[in-house]
Structures are given as structure tokens and as C-alpha cells.
Amino acid sequence: MQTDSSFTFVLFGGTGDLAMRKILPALFEAHRAGGMLADSGKIVAVARHVADRAGYLEWVNEHVKPHVSKNGLDETAWASFLDRIDFVKIDLGKAEDFVLLRDAVSGLPGIRVFYLATGPSLFVPICRALASVGLNENSRIVLEKPLGYDLKSSNAINDAVGEIFAEEQIYRIDHYLGKEPVQNLLALRFGNVLFEPLWRREWVESIQITIAEELGVEARGDFYDNTGALRDMVQNHLLQLLSIVAMEPPHSMDSDSVRDEKLRVLRALKPIDPRDIGKVAVRGQYHAGVIRGNAVPAYATEPGVKPDSTTETFVALKVEIENWRWAGVPFFLRTGKRLADRVAEIVVNFRAVPHSALGASALRGGANRLVIRLQPNETIRLYCLAKQPGEGMNLASVHLDLAFDRFFREGQMEAYQRLLLDVINGRLALFVRRDEQEAAWRWVEPILNEWAASNKPPKPYASGTWGPAAASAMLAQHDTCWLEEEN
């Protein structure tokens, strides 16, 4: 993925955690690879916590280096990367300070990319300030999640940003869409005749999508207690992954073809009747427990969290898609904090054979399954039954590894690196369009409203487990279980 496109990458929130852990390391990896970033490309960081460029580079050396030096740091490449970086000290609350930014970038070549690695409350003021100094032309704007608190607030942000930037200038980022296995899922489905005929209700029994974290809310208690897992993870990451899994083959891989098909899935989600939420939605909150031998506190005692908080840290949902391909197939979505392991995966359970002369094991649903692991290690495995060596016809589950690293010399590209290059090169396919976002909020809102109106607290679960027992019971009603429970 080489480019000769000149660019000026303006990073708001330049001293923040996201910039240090993800954005600048991703840009460095693209720089180190050679040819991915135009030599003339510049990075302009914006913040108010350091005084000048020298102070900012010291900050970068201290906070970014640990995230790029795990496999050894090429000091020559690092030094040349720092040469790309400039710095402008701005108080984002003062629109007049943006004249300093205009002066700093006015002589720089190429497309301007404004990355808003800030809280969503600053999105509109920043966009208006950029427009006030004429920086909204020949530019692209990248918006991090969460984009709003509900459909109304999301629309308010989108309306205000849309008055300043055209839709084709707006890149709403969801880093899960940039992960290599998600890209390979598209390749498997639409590049091979093998999987597509099976990718439908006649052959698929159920699909699970899990994003589990071992960590708690860490230092984000104030933010998280006003957000919760449904807003933080389901409305964006999980529904986006679901739409990728369930979408129809697009006409092409251009931005609108892909996003049109994802939108059709989101609009086909069966609305959840508030009276049925107790049957198809489980919310939980972690209590004290032990993870990998270390005692961890309850959510309600975390810094910034209200002691009587009813915010959910765990959500499990049964979702149905009302269309010809997927009618009757349950999609089980799950996310949570302080769970037993850090894992993100998509599990496609295929139906059992209709008749077996080889014994009962071949009649078990899920004997054939595709497991797409997104983190911590990125792999795709196809499980099937094979005969065990020895006397008799005894079957055992085996798997075929789609080991891409054995076939391709180049390493897998990290999600943020891919997405940032897509922004610079004007590729929108892996970014969320406004109508997608609205459809996701519209489906999620009845759950939010019912939970807000309910006096029932979230179900407790001990840290270091896989969440409330009710999440397992929900799958048991469909004669299935979460993948780790079967293993």
C-alpha cells in the first residue's frame, strides 16, 4: 500500500493516551515501512500541556517509544520520523488560537487530515473553529467514538459537523473494521466459491461475536459511568462486526458499495420489543474477584464511579436479522470488562449433518465451525471432524489454521495503521457512514430506554469469570453455549 500523496496530518489531543498508544505508533510503522507515507507528509500535533516543539518531542520520546520498541527500535527511522512532527500550542476552548494553526499549516502541501482524538464534546467547537479560519477546505476530518450519547445527541453532532464538512470528508473511525482478520473475512466470503453458498440460514446454526476484556475501567471511571458497555461497545464495534459478517456481496469494494450492504443489515435488525428485553438482553456489573492471581476491586469502588451505580459493564444480546439469508438464525453478541480473558472473536457455528453413519458426534451442532480471532492473536480456524488414529471409527474435532504469516512475508498491518493510510489516501470503505450510525443508535435505543426506566440493577458477576450466568442460560434456551464453555 504505497502512496505519493502529500498530506498534513493534524492531531488534536496530541498528548493524549490514544495519540501515544495508537495513532503515533501507527504513523511511525507506516513511516518505517518506507513508501507508505509521502516524504513530504507532515504531522502537526495540537495540545496545550507542553510549551513548544522541543517539549513535545520529549513527551513523544517518553510516551510513544514504549509502544513502538517491543521488537527493537530502528533509531535512524525514529529520528527521521520525529523530523516529520511539528507542534502548535492551542487552547481548544479559544477559537482565536486557531489562527496559530492556520499559520502553521498554510504553507504545507497536500490534503489536510484533522484527527480529533478528543472527547466528543469538543468535536463541534473544533470543527467550527477550523471553519472560522478557512481550514475546512481541501481537508478530511476523523471522528473517534463515542459520537454522542444517544440518537438525538449523535444527530446533533453529525448535523453540526455536516454544516462544515461534506459527508465524503468525514471519517468516523471504528478500529475493529481495520483488523486483518476482518479483511480476510471479506476475502474468504467474496473471493472464494467455497464459503459463500454455506453462508446462510440453511447451513448456519448460530453466530457468536465476543469482545471481552480483562481490564476494568482503569482511569476512565468518570467517562464510563455515564456511558456503559451498550453505548461503549455494542452500538459501534459489535454491530459493525455483525454487519460485516451478515452483509450481502457488494457490487465492488468501493466505499459506498460496502457501506450500502452494511446499512441493509443494520436496517434489517429485528426491533426488540421492550417487553422481551429480559429474554434477549443480559446486563451485568463486575464485583470484586481475582484475575490471573491478582485481586481486583468491584466496579462500584473504582475511582470516578458512583457507589450506587447501575451502569452495566457487561452486555449479552440475542439478535435476529429479518431478511431472506438470515431469518431464524440467532446472533449472540457479548462484551464485558473484568472477564476471564482478553479476546475478540467471531464464531460461525454450522449445522450438523442431517444423518450420520459415524455416530452421534457428527450430529452435534457446531462440529463444523469457523472461528475468526481478532485479538489477542489474529487467526482464522476452520473446525471439522476427523477420524482418530487406531481401531474403530472414532471422531475427534480438529482444525485447519489459515496461517497467513506462512504465505506472506510481510507482517500483518495493525488496524490503526491501515485506517490512517486509508484516510490519507481518501478510502472510505472501512469508515462508518452517518446513516449506518443512525440505524445502529435507532436499534439500540429501546434497550437503553428500558434499562433506564427499570428499577432492576445489573446482574452481578465476579471479576475473572465470563459474566452473569444469565448470559449462558440465554444460549442454553437455543441448545447451544458460548465457545469457551464447550471447550
Residue 351 lies in a domain: yes
The rounded distance, in Å, linking the Cα atoms of 449 and 70 is 44
- Tell me what pLDDT residue 168 has: 95
Annotated binding site for substrate: 175, 179, 213, 232, 337
Q: Among the residues of 73-150, which ranges form H helices? A: 75-84, 98-105, 123-132
CATH number, position 54: 3.40.50.720
Domain contains 152:
no
Count the residues in the chain.
487
Q: Quick one: 192 and 129 in the same domain?
A: no
What is the pLDDT at residue 145? 84
Q: What are phi and psi of 43, to 5 degrees?
A: -115, 125
In a shared domain, residues 122 and 181:
no
Residue 121 lies in a domain: yes
- 139 lies in the same domain as 187: no
At 367, is the pLDDT very low, low, confident or very high (cuts 50, 70, 90)? confident
pLDDT over 60 at 462, yes or no: yes
Rounded to the nearest angstrom, the gap between the alpha carbon of residue 74 and the centroid of all alpha carbons in its chain is 29
Same domain, 253 and 318: yes
Is 237 a catalytic site residue? yes
Beta bridge partners of residue 339, listed in sequence order: 465
Residue 156 lies in a domain: no
Regarding whether 186 and 83 lie in a shared domain, the answer is no
Contact in structure between 249 and 191 (CB atoms under 8 Å) = no
**Whether residue 132 is found in the same domain as residue 183:** no
Q: Tell me the mean pLDDT in the region 446-459.
A: 92
Question: Binding site: which residues?
Answer: 48, 91-92, 145, 175, 179, 213, 232, 337
Domain match, 123 and 189 both: no
Cα angle for residues 58, 12, 150 (degrees, 5° grid): 140
Q: Which residues are annotated as a binding site for NADP(+)?
A: 48, 91-92, 145
Count of structural domains within the chain: 2
Reduced to 3 states (helix: H, G, I; strand: E, B; else coil), residue 380 is strand
For residue 452, the surrounding DSSP H or E stretch is helix 434-453
- 423 located within any domain: no
In a domain, 166, yes or no: no
Tell me whether residue 426 is in a domain. Answer: no
Are residues 446 and 375 located together in one domain of the fold? Answer: yes
Tens of pLDDT, residue by residue over 267-315, are 999 999 988 999 999 999 999 999 998 999 999 999 999 999 999 999 9
For residues 284 and 467, the answer to whether their CB atoms sit within 8 Å is: yes
Residue 120 sits in which domain range?
7-144
- Residues 195-226: tens digit of each pLDDT: 889 999 999 999 999 999 999 998 888 989 99
Give burial (CB, 10 Å; 0-12/13-18/19+) of 469: middle
Report residue 74's pLDDT band, with 50, 70 and 90 as the boundaries: confident
Cell reading at 323: 431478511
- Phi and psi at residue 165, in whole multiples of 5°? -120, 140
Q: Is the pLDDT of residue 119 over 60?
A: yes
Looking at this protein, which amino acid is placed at residue 67? H
Distance CA 40, CA 4 (A): 9
Query: Are both 124 and 248 inside the same structural domain?
Result: no
- Say whether pLDDT at 255 is over 90: no
Residue 425 lies in a domain: no
Question: How many whole angstroms from its chain centre is CA 55?
Answer: 32
CA distance 397 to 54: 58
Measured CA to CA, the distance from residue 419 to residue 179 in angstroms comes to: 9
Q: In CATH, what number is assigned to the domain containing residue 337?
A: 3.30.360.10
Active-site residue, selected from the candidate residues 49, 63, 237, 355: 237
Residues 479 and 352 in one domain: yes
Same domain, 128 and 265: no
